[in-house]
Amino acid sequence: MSDTPNNIKSPRLVSLDILRGLDLFLLVFFQPVFMAVVAAVDIPWLNAVAFQFDHEVWAGFRLWDIVMPLFLFMVGTSMPFSLAKYRGHKSKRAVIIKVFRRAVILFLLGMVVQGNLLSFDCDRLCYYNNTLQAIAVGYLVGALVTVSFCIKWRIVIAGILLIVYWLPMTFGGNIAPDDSFAYMVDRMVIGGHTDDFTYTWIWSSLNFSVTVLLGSFAGNIIKSGMDKVVVAKHLTFIGLLLVLAGILWSLQMPIIKRVWSSSMVLYSGGICFLLMALFYYVIDYRGYTYGLNWLKIYGMNAITAYVVGEVIDFRSIVVSLSYGLEPIMGEFYSAWLTFGNYLILFFILTIMYRRKIFIKI
């Protein structure tokens, strides 16, 4: 996992754009539409599938629990490419300013997505309670570590963060929704300024950063200049190793996404490595993109897709154009409104993609 020379310009990683697009498509189209359809029908096997498209209540891991870790992981995967020219630079001021600026913007966008920043009411404000804010913190730590240390030290730092998180979580409280060390830290730091303590954020930020760093390690492997088949094998081997490590650690500390436990970091990180290996092999090595390129519409405007999808409700437009369908569609009308809402978002992203409008932070 050596770093490539700074003067080598890497081609765009198509597999990363498409994998990121799949993650965003699931988040801002498929899952909400699918769940709306499930709510309108009562089919046992469909309910069983829907079970995998919701988060695990506490210990355990479902399909839907990989969406957020994969998002953070891919932020890290892109860093060796976007920050390579800054490593070893005599003055790091430019990159530090860039990193902090991006982190602040992401954090503020997270507050907008929460739905309370635009209320202009401090009593309703949740300071830290959103995926984008977790990405902001993970990116900040991951980027600063990436530009400051060689790969060996980055691995050491990731290990230290995992252990630092683990120690008080093991010896400073119980692993329970309202009694864990991470829960107590959130209570002390952000107090009543949050609306959900079944998820933890402040102490969990240590492991958010590790997930981003795991992604950066994958990015380093891809950028290493090795044969593409060898790269895919390395990614697969590390993925399997991390999954196994996560399962073994879960015997002591359960896999719990809601507190971002260390075992969950390794387990989900392993799955992310395996997904990256699969997409890299199929797309970047085999060159197979048939039926997949449309996912770039989401993947190349990921932040826009997430923020607009979470903040702006287009259902009023759908209602205005199709209110006459309500008595005909009955219980399916709500699903139709959800479908129409995210279809409009898809059209907006498609226009941006075709006009090559990509909003970067």
Residue 48: strand, helix, or coil: helix
Question: Residue 187 pLDDT > 90, yes or no?
Answer: no
Greater pLDDT, 351 or 97: 351
Note the pLDDT of residue 280. Answer: 97
Q: What is the mean pLDDT of residues 325-329?
A: 90
Note the pLDDT of residue 3. Answer: 47
Question: Residue 321 pLDDT > 50, yes or no?
Answer: yes
Note the pLDDT of residue 4. Answer: 44
Length of the chain: 361
Note the pLDDT of residue 343. Answer: 96
Q: Among residues of the chain, what percentage have pLDDT more than 90?
A: 69
Task: Indicate the pLDDT class of residue 94, thresholds 50, 70 and 90.
Answer: confident
Greater pLDDT, 293 or 123: 293
Q: What is the mean pLDDT of residues 300-313?
A: 93
Question: Residue 154 pLDDT > 60, yes or no?
Answer: yes
Question: Residue 90 pLDDT > 70, yes or no?
Answer: no
Note the pLDDT of residue 88. Answer: 55
Q: What is the mean pLDDT of residues 4-25?
A: 77
| Cα–Cα dist 36/53, whole Å | 12
Residue 42: strand, helix, or coil: coil
Question: Residue 10 pLDDT > 60, yes or no?
Answer: no
Task: Indicate the pLDDT class of residue 2, thresholds 50, 70 and 90.
Answer: very low
Residue 286: strand, helix, or coil: coil
Longest CA pairwise span in the chain (Å): 68
Q: Average pLDDT, whole number, for the chain?
A: 89
Note the pLDDT of residue 245. Answer: 98
pLDDT digits (tens, 9 = 90+) for 26-35: 999 999 999 9
Greater pLDDT, 81 or 230: 230
As a whole number of Å, the CA-based R_g of the chain is: 21
Question: Residue 109 pLDDT > 80, yes or no?
Answer: yes
Task: Indicate the pLDDT class of residue 163, thresholds 50, 70 and 90.
Answer: very high
Question: Residue 37 pLDDT > 50, yes or no?
Answer: yes
Q: What is the mean pLDDT of residues 23-49?
A: 92
CA distances for 271 relative to 73, 182, 215, 267, 275, angstroms: 10, 24, 11, 7, 6
Q: What is the mean pLDDT of residues 136-159?
A: 94
- As a three-state string, the secondary structure of 236-263 is HHHHHHHHHHHHHHCCCCCCCHHHCCHH
Note the pLDDT of residue 194. Answer: 54
Greater pLDDT, 239 or 147: 239
Question: Residue 74 pLDDT > 80, yes or no?
Answer: yes
Question: Residue 186 pLDDT > 50, yes or no?
Answer: yes
Task: Indicate the pLDDT class of residue 5, thresholds 50, 70 and 90.
Answer: very low
Task: Indicate the pLDDT class of residue 331, thresholds 50, 70 and 90.
Answer: confident
CB 243 within 8 A of CB 101: no
CA distances for 219 relative to 15, 46, 102, angstroms: 12, 37, 20
Question: Residue 236 pLDDT > 90, yes or no?
Answer: yes
